Amino acid sequence: MNWTTFFAMLARDAHVARRNLAALALQTTLQPLLFVFVFGKVMTTGRMIPASYQGLLAPGLMGMSMVLTGVQAVAMPLIGELLFTREIEDRLLAPMTDGWLAVEKLVAGVIQALVAGAAVALSARLILGAGVNLDLGRPVLLAAVVLLVAVFSAASGLVLGCSVGMTQIGLMFSMVLSPMIFFGCVYYPWSVLSNFPLLQKLVLLNPLVYASEGLRGTLAPQYPHIGTGVVIAALVAIDGLFIAIGLRQFHRKAVS
């Protein structure tokens, strides 16, 4: 495999992301920051919800931003390149296999997801101040969870980008991403669903649950959360599954 070609393509994607930085930043961070401000600042200051909700909310919003960013960073360009510009055909002529081209897309998505997560965490700290109370005492564990979440976001973007047509983009957001967010334990811990036993079990099929709970367990362990060991095991399995499906789908699209 030609590593020079691999890094050249990665640098090209980085250049495109920098050119669209303002739009990308607004697209991926505006909604989480609005939630941080309204629920974390306005409603806690007005004493409509307890101030402790700030620390509970921030990790979930960080996970949501990472997942949405990774999905959009990989899926949207892929849909355009596969169906309209056919730019993917030029990339396939590069001296590396189509599998490594898909890996380059994954790496680019992972990097963007990591940047989005860091931006939301920093913004939450600036908006909410010390009240957000994020725990950075376990950096290795935090890094492992964050990396696994970023890989999941990029891998799911690869799967969707190779499976969804341009006319189905709206359906993807309304039927896939929206339910994933609302039932992904972003705004509440998984334990509060104990009053809905069937729903509590069903949401475990949602990968965003493990992203939200994993970040909550490492950044805000004082709140209820699924065990970090369970979260890491689940994310490793989910990442492996989505990468395998994504690589297979990309190969089928590339040779068709």
For the segment 102-135, what is each residue's pLDDT rounded down to a tens digit? 888 899 899 889 988 888 888 888 887 766 777 8
Counting other chains too, the contacts that 135-139 makes at CB distance below 8 Å and 24 or more residues apart are 135/218, 135/219, 135/220, 135/221, 135/222, 136/219, 138/218
* pLDDT score at 91: 61
pLDDT at 57 over 80: yes
Per the structure, the complete domain to which residue 153 belongs is given by: 3-255
Encoded tokens for 1: 């495999």
In whole angstroms, what separates CA 80 from the centre of its chain?
Answer: 20
The reply to whether the predicted model has a pTM over 0.75 is yes
Nearest one of 136, 111, 112 to 59, comparing CA atoms: 136
State whether the Cα torsion 207-213-214-215 is positive or negative: positive
Provide the mean pLDDT of the chain: 83
* pLDDT score at 27: 66
The number of domains in the chain is 1
* pLDDT score at 203: 95
CA distance 15 to 13: 5
Confidence band for 90, pLDDT divided at 50, 70 and 90 = low
